[in-house]
Amino acid sequence: MLETPVTPQPLPTRKPVIVGISQGDVNGIGLEVIIKTFSDPTMLEICTPVLFSSGKTIAHHRRVLQAEHFNYNMINSLDNIPARKFNLYNCYNEEVPMELGKETPAGGLYAVKSLTTACEALERGKIEALVTAPINKHNTHSEEFPFAGHTGYLDQRFGKGNSVMMLISGELRVALLTEHIPVSEVAASISVEKILKKLSILNKTLKEDFSIEKPRIAILGLNPHAGDGGTLGKEEQEIIKPAINKAQKDGLLAYGPYPADGFFGNHAFQKFDAVLAMYHDQGLIPFKYMAFETGVNFTAGISVIRTSPDHGTAYDIAGKNKASEASFRHAVFMACDLVRTRKEYQKLVANRLRVSVPAQQDGE
């Protein structure tokens, strides 16, 4: 007897994530890598992009790149954003003086205008994630924007002092204890309390945003050879090791401190889910050496999803059609993945809470 054939059911389609994009410095490579990324039509199956810029600005860059094939859809409202289109939300109408490859006040002013408008959309729930194109910390800094880059601003707006800057490429995740401060101030900025706070935030994001049930975190030392038993510095013995001991007592799988050079040189990082570096260049020089084309900057610990490429404005090649969009594309991919992973985690927690609450008996 023949079996009744089973009609295959279509797999559920995933709704594209609505990703807001800030334009960065109009004189850098930000708009070039944006145009190159979304010239690939398959990207519009993955996400619904919304660029916060202006028609005049994007038209200028499209003309410079000779990218007449690149089409965009102008929208005046963030309600009912069309899917499968590259959407452009006009956040200013005036003509912006553009000098590709140069640092100018206008480059900083309109980078901030794009960023703040995109963040307003995030707060209102009009977009689900933010991918930021590179800015110049010098021309964006002002009384109105007193921040050394995106992370400080996003931390104040969405994190309340709880953010951690992370660079990610595949299984390599490097977080920073201190960020954009002079090297001369690093040692004084390290404390047991600060390490414990950053470890807690890092542990939480690895669970909630990367689905790692029991994250293993490596902590680097500050001094050469991790202080060499106190011979080359006391911070490891007096601050870093006590913080690790306390974290372990609190149930975190934290280990170290490890000498930074050997740790990356012998690939010890592969045994851990994340690495906490003491300062910017200690973590980012090895990271960018290994993953410059694929690296993504992720702001962990804030209430919204924000990613960015791991490079800067690259004025030296701006307007020359030489910039690689690889890192920006990875930043878009990661933003979409993080939105979905965080939503799944929140559903899982909500279900656990419902199961753990006992049903009320009659008469109670």
147 and 219 fall within a common domain: no
Nearest-angstrom CA–CA distance, 322 and 339: 31
Domain presence at residue 198: yes
176 lies in the same domain as 267:
yes
Residue 119: inside a domain: yes
Distances (CA, A) of 121 to 33, 44, 118, 130, 301: 22, 20, 5, 10, 19
Mind listing the pLDDT tens digit for each residue in 16-35? 999 999 999 999 999 999 99
Dist. CA 321–CA 63, nearest whole Å: 11
Give the C-alpha distances (Å, rounded to integers) separating 153 from 116, 119, 137, 158, 306: 9, 10, 12, 8, 12
At 15, is the pLDDT very low, low, confident or very high (cuts 50, 70, 90)?
A: confident
For residues 56 and 81, membership in a common domain is answered with yes
Residue 209: which of 350, 17, 346, 332 has the closest Cα? Answer: 346
Position 37 pLDDT exceeds 90: yes
Confidence of residue 364 (pLDDT cuts 50, 70, 90): very low
Apex CA 241: angle with CA 261 and CA 289, to 5°? Answer: 20
Residue 344: give the domain boundaries: 15-161+302-358
Residues 23 and 144 occupy one common structural domain: yes
Q: Summarize pLDDT for 290-332 with one digit per residue, the tens.
A: 998 889 999 999 999 999 999 999 999 999 999 999 999 999 9
Given a cut of 90, whether residue 218 has pLDDT beyond it is yes
Shared domain check, 79 and 34: yes
Residue 264 covered by a domain? yes
Q: Which amino acid is at 66?
A: Q
Q: Are residues 142 and 65 in the same domain?
A: yes
Tokens describing residue 330 = 């990875």
Domain boundary among 296, 311, 329: 296
Residue 298 contacts residue 208 (beta carbons within 8 Å): no
- Work out the mean pLDDT of the chain and round it to a whole number: 91
Q: How many C-alpha atoms does 28 have within 13 Å on its Cβ side?
A: 27
How much is the average pLDDT of 51-75? 95
* Residue after which a domain boundary falls, among 268, 296, 324: 296
Residue 281 included in any domain: yes
Same domain? For 170 and 275 the reply is yes
3 state SS of 155: helix
Co-location of 156 and 188 in the same domain: no
Tally the domains of the chain. 2
Q: Is the pLDDT assigned to residue 362 strictly greater than 90?
A: no
Tell whether 7 is covered by a domain: no
Residue 197 domain flag: yes
- Please give the Cα distance from 314 to 137 (Å, whole number): 13
Asked if residue 260 is part of any domain, the answer here is: yes
- pLDDT digit string (tens) for 71-130? 999 999 999 999 999 999 999 999 999 999 999 999 999 999 999 999 999 999 999 999
Distance CA 279, CA 28 (A): 26
* Contact (Cβ atoms closer than 8 angstroms) between residue 219 and residue 213: no
DSSP category for residue 184: G
The residue assigned the tokens 């992720």 is 298
- Do 329 and 255 lie in a common domain? no
Last residue of a domain, one of 249, 267, 296: 296
89 lies in some domain: yes
Q: Beginning with the edge strand found earlier in the chain, give each strand of the sheet holding 296-300 in spatial order.
A: 73-75, 87-90, 47-53, 17-22, 129-132, 306-309, 296-300, 164-169, 172-176, 274-277, 216-220, 253-258
What value, to the nearest 5°, has the Cα angle with vertex 313 and ends 75 and 43? 45
Would you say 351 and 316 are in contact if contact means Cβ atoms under 8 Å apart? no
Q: Are residues 288 and 352 in the same domain?
A: no
Residues 180-196 have pLDDT tens digits of 899 999 999 999 999 99
What percent of the chain is predicted at pLDDT more than 90? 81
The H-or-E segment that residue 196 falls in is: helix 192-208
What's 319's domain CATH number? 3.40.718.10
Asked if residue 205 and residue 328 are part of one domain, the reply reads no
Report the DSSP pairing between strands 172-176 and 274-277. Answer: parallel
pLDDT of 355 reads 61
Looking at the fold, whether 194 and 281 belong to one and the same domain comes out as: yes
* Digit-coded pLDDT (tens) for 142-187: 989 999 889 999 999 998 889 999 999 999 999 999 998 999 999 9
Query: Would you state the pLDDT for residue 194?
Result: 97
